[in-house]
Structure 1
Amino acid sequence: MQKAGGPAFMDRHFPKAAELLQSWDGKEAVEGLALIGVPLSKPSISHSGASFTPGVFRRLLQSYSTYAVEDETELLSSPKLSDMGDIVMHATNVEESYRRIEETVSSLMDANPSCLPIFIGGDHSITYSTLKGLSGKKGTVGVILFDAHHDLRNTEDGGPTNGTPFRRLLEADLLKGENLVQIGIRNYSNSAYYHQYARDQGVTIFSMADVKKQGIAQVMTSAIQYLEDKVDHIYVSVDIDVLDQAFAPGCPAIGPGGMTSDQILEAIHLLGTREKVCGLDMVEIDPTIDFRDMTTRVAVFCLLEFMRGRASM
């Protein structure tokens, strides 16, 4: 007999990435990486089933090994990834769900100060609450955002949605514009008004043209050096729509002209090597419209590459 939900075929010499997950008992202090599901997608401007992503994400860890051949890194030799479970959302009240995210993250971080959370959304509106929950960290926090959009829409026209998290963070003085770096912003995904708003707030913007001309390694070096000189902690937010639609069919806001999966994986691996990174979220994946789980698989690889980066520290 084998554990229910396990892989259909098992090879004793081929450990699966799911073995990296370590169930948390809620008592022992967690040090290192911790996986936290944030299954909220009701505030999405577009129809979204992103609330189903945490479960699919965990299942797909069965599809990959723990070994990186390029630098011969065995992730099983690194500290395991603690699975803290999913934050329980309110069935109908979005504001209550935001409150639950914020309070849960805050209490988890208070009890586990050495924990580095990996949040699996959910739509991008969760970032306001996850980052607010981390606001008790000593010192200033900066953000590196991978996104096709600025996500600086006003809240008057539609309330807090997945298009507003960074506007809300700026207006709540939880984040300074000069401490926000946006990477992958692309044509026909934003308006002139919000692009100018980002500039007025002092946001650093690397468009897709910058990524293509400079290369992702140079963009990341510039972004990291800029923030590390200004802040005490760096939070990373990955909106999967930063990818070209060819690499992310299971995304509500797909479009051409985006990043490749190679580019985002290189960027996330590099961020994994940086001591100041204090948290990471991956959002806007909708498994209900995906093809062969292609989009969630990119997110799983991002996690593994981040872990590989941490293992090299």
Structure 2
Amino acid sequence: MSGLPYLSHEAGFTDRGITKAGKLLGNWKEGDASGIGLIGVPLSKPSISHSGASFAPQTIRKMMNSFTTYSIQDDMDIQPITDFGDITMHVTDLSDSIRRIEETAAGILNRHTDILPIFLGGDHSVTAPLFKSFKEARGKAGIIQFDAHHDLRNLEDGGPSNGTPFRQLIEKGVLEGKHLHQIGIRNFSNGKAYTDYGKQHGVHIYTMQDVYETGILTILETAVHELLKETDQIYVSLDMDVMDQAFAPGCPAIGPGGMDARMLIEAMRFLGETPQVKALDIVEIDPAVDFRDMTSRLAAHAILTFLSGYQTRK
């Protein structure tokens, strides 16, 4: 891993009455850490489409300074975050990069047992090794996935790409299909073969139409209830392309008909409040094609919203 000094992301203007959220990020030092831990996973080489998602961890950190630490809704300030820096990827060897992700995530989770990790991708391929390490370190877990796509593509046509993480986990026996809840699956963004594969393996699939008709909080309440029948904890994977392209123009796979920012904020608050949610990853942002960093700003806001809920946990 490489340390990332958060001071390089300080806001350009200082107001003594405001603390920018970038100040929450404190560099990890040798020793104990607890609370929230931030880990960058800057891998985008396995992306099916051209992607600069490897630049997202730094950009999201920078966009924390678009906001303050103060939640007016709760009349409280967000607590500091331990920033572990970015996992260093191999320049050319993809399998070695995956190995580094698994080993580094496992090392952090095993050493700092009280840390709730927030992983900043990277494309969605990083979820497979991250969840594998999380489950090995922390025990039986299920996944709530926000995504326009199933990410259940076959492995023969392109190998372990950003379209295959959940198929990898299912086929390797790391994850049971019934322990995966997919939210926001979008029209004209998937193939029937992969919807059928999900159904055959017991995956719970909620389309965007389901979200519109049922409501995001009702779906999340159901997903949490079902997962906790058989698992001890929940890993949340937020693919930002679940958002409508109007709210997240910096995703490699933008499209109309997705979630709006209000839905995401409500979802992140609910999941932050849920004690059994023990990990979060945010993936599929390409700062190189974003407009005024809108997508990274939304991701930073989602993190703060999650943390505001987390601080209300009993």
TM-score (norm 2): 0.96
Question: Counterpart of 1:136 in 2: which secondary structure?
Answer: helix
Aligned to 2:102: 102
Moved more, 32-41 or 133-142: 133-142
Query: Partner residue of 2:50?
Result: 47
Q: How many residues matched?
A: 307
How far has the Cα of 1:28 moved from its partner?
1.3
Shift of 1:122: 0.2
- 1:244 maps to a residue whose letter is D
List alignment gaps of at least 5 residues for structure 1.
none
User: For residues 7 and 146 of structure 1, what CA distance do their matches in structure 2 show?
Assistant: 31
In structure 2, the residue matched to 1:136 is 136
- Correspondence list, 1:49-198, <5 A: 49-75=52-78, 78=79, 80-198=80-198
* 1-structure distance, mates of 2:115, 2:8: 29
1:21 aligned onto 2:25: yes
C-alpha separation in 1, matches of 2:183 and 2:119: 19
Question: How far apart, in 2, do the equivalents of 1:252 and 1:138 lie?
Answer: 32
Q: Which moved more, 1:85-94 or 1:224-233?
A: 224-233
Distance 1:12 1:156, change over 3 A: same
Moved more, 27-36 or 237-246: 27-36
Q: Please report how far the alpha carbon of residue 114 of structure 1 lies from its aligned counterpart in structure 2 after TM superposition.
A: 1.0
Larger displacement relative to structure 2 (206-215 or 130-139): 130-139
Letter paired with 1:298: L
C-alpha distance in 2, partners of 1:56/1:301?
13
Deviations 1:238-264 (A, max 9, x none): 000000000010000000000001101
Instruction: Give SS of 1:298's match.
Output: helix
Q: Which amino acid aligns with 1:272?
A: G
Looking at structure 2, the residues matched to 280 and 4 of structure 1 have their Cα atoms a distance apart, in angstroms, of 25
| Distance in 2 separating the partners of 1:151 and 1:106 | 24
For 2:21 and 2:58, how far apart are their aligned partners in 1?
A: 15
The Cα shift of 1:162 comes to 0.2
Amino acid at match of 1:125: S
The SS at the match of 1:151 is: coil
Superposed displacement of residue 4, structure 1: 5.2
Q: Return closer, same or farther for 1:60/1:193 CA change in 2, 3 Å cut-off.
A: same
Which residue of 1 is the match for residue 37 of structure 2?
34
RMSD of aligned Cα (Å): 1.0
Structure 2 residues not aligned, in runs of 5+:
1-6
Q: SS of the residue aligned with 1:128?
A: helix
| Offset of residue 71 of structure 1 | 2.6
Equivalent-residue separation in structure 1 for 2:281 and 2:9 (angstroms): 25
Q: Deviations over 1:202-261 (max 9, x none)?
A: 001111011000111111111111112221010000000000000010000000000001
Counterpart CA distance in 1 for 2:103 and 2:305 is 29
In 1, are the aligned partners of 2:9 and 2:22 still within 8 Å (CA)?
no
The residue number in structure 2 matching 1:12 is 16
Identity percentage of aligned residues: 50
Is contact 2:119-2:281 (8 Å) kept? yes
Distance 1:22 1:185 in 2: 36
Equivalent residue letter for 1:66: T
Letter of the structure 1 residue corresponding to residue 14 of structure 2: M
Alignment-mate amino acid for residue 286 of structure 2: D
Contact 2:64 2:301 in 1 (8 A): no
**Paired residues of 2:152 and 2:198 also in contact (CA < 8 A):** yes
Q: For residue 137 of structure 1, report the CA deviation from its aligned partner.
A: 3.2
SS at match of 1:225: helix
Aligned residue for 1:294? Answer: 294
Structure 2 counterpart SS, 1:291: coil
Shift of 1:138: 4.7
One-letter code of the match for 2:296?
T
1:204 paired residue number: 204
Q: Which residue of 1 aligns with 2:270?
A: 270
Question: For the residues of structure 1 that align with 2:312 and 2:228, how far apart are their CA atoms?
Answer: 19
Cα distance, 1:5 vs. partner? Answer: 4.3
Q: 1:5 to 1:227 in 2, by over 3 A?
A: closer
Q: Is the 8 A contact 2:110 2:137 kept in 1?
A: no
Alpha-carbon distance in structure 2 between the residues aligned to 1:109 and 1:210: 35
Note the C-alpha offset of 1:280.
Answer: 0.5
Deviations 1:156-181 (A, max 9, x none): 11111000000000011110001000
Secondary structure, in 3 states, of the residue corresponding to 2:124? coil
